[in-house]
Amino acid sequence: MKPILNCILLIDDDEPTNFMSNMVLEEANCTRHIQIEESGQKALAFLCNTKDSSQQKSLVQYPELIFLDINMPAMNGWEFLEKFMELKKDAHPETIIIMLTTSINPDDKIRAEKLSVVAGFENKPLTDNMIEKLLQRHFNNQ
Q: What are the tens digits of pLDDT across the range 24-74?
A: 999 999 999 999 999 999 999 999 888 655 455 556 788 999 999 999 999
pLDDT of residue 57: 53
Is-cis flag, bond preceding 73, omega within 30? Answer: no
Residue 86 has pLDDT above 90, yes or no: no
Phi/psi for 5 (5° steps) reads -115, 155
Fold topology of 8-51+59-139: Rossmann fold (3.40.50)
Asked if 35 and 64 touch (Cβ cutoff 8 Å), the reply is: no
Q: Give residue-wise pLDDT tens across range 105-125.
A: 999 999 999 998 999 999 999
Q: Closest Cα partner for 63 from 40, 18, 97, 15?
A: 97
pLDDT for res 37 = 98
Which residues neighbour 23 within 8 Å (Cβ) at sequence distance 6 or greater? none
In contact, 7 and 35? CB cutoff 8 Å: yes
pLDDT at 93 over 70: no
Residue 8 has a pLDDT of: 97
Q: Is 52 exposed, middle or buried (0-12, 13-18, 19+ CB in 10 A)?
A: exposed
**What is the predicted pLDDT for the residue at 81?**
96
pLDDT band at residue 92 under the 50/70/90 scheme? low
Distance in angstroms (rounded) separating the CA atoms of residues 110 and 32:
32
Task: Count Cβ atoms within 10 A of the Cβ of residue 83 and give its class: 0-12 exposed, 13-18 middle, 19 or more buried.
Answer: middle
pLDDT for residue 58: 55
pTM of the complete model:
0.91
Average pLDDT over residues 74-91: 86
Q: Of 24, 134, 44, which Cα lies nearest the Cα of 91?
A: 44
Domain ranges of the chain: 8-51+59-139
Please report the pLDDT score of residue 115 as a whole number.
Answer: 93
pLDDT at 102: 94
What pLDDT sits at residue 87?
81
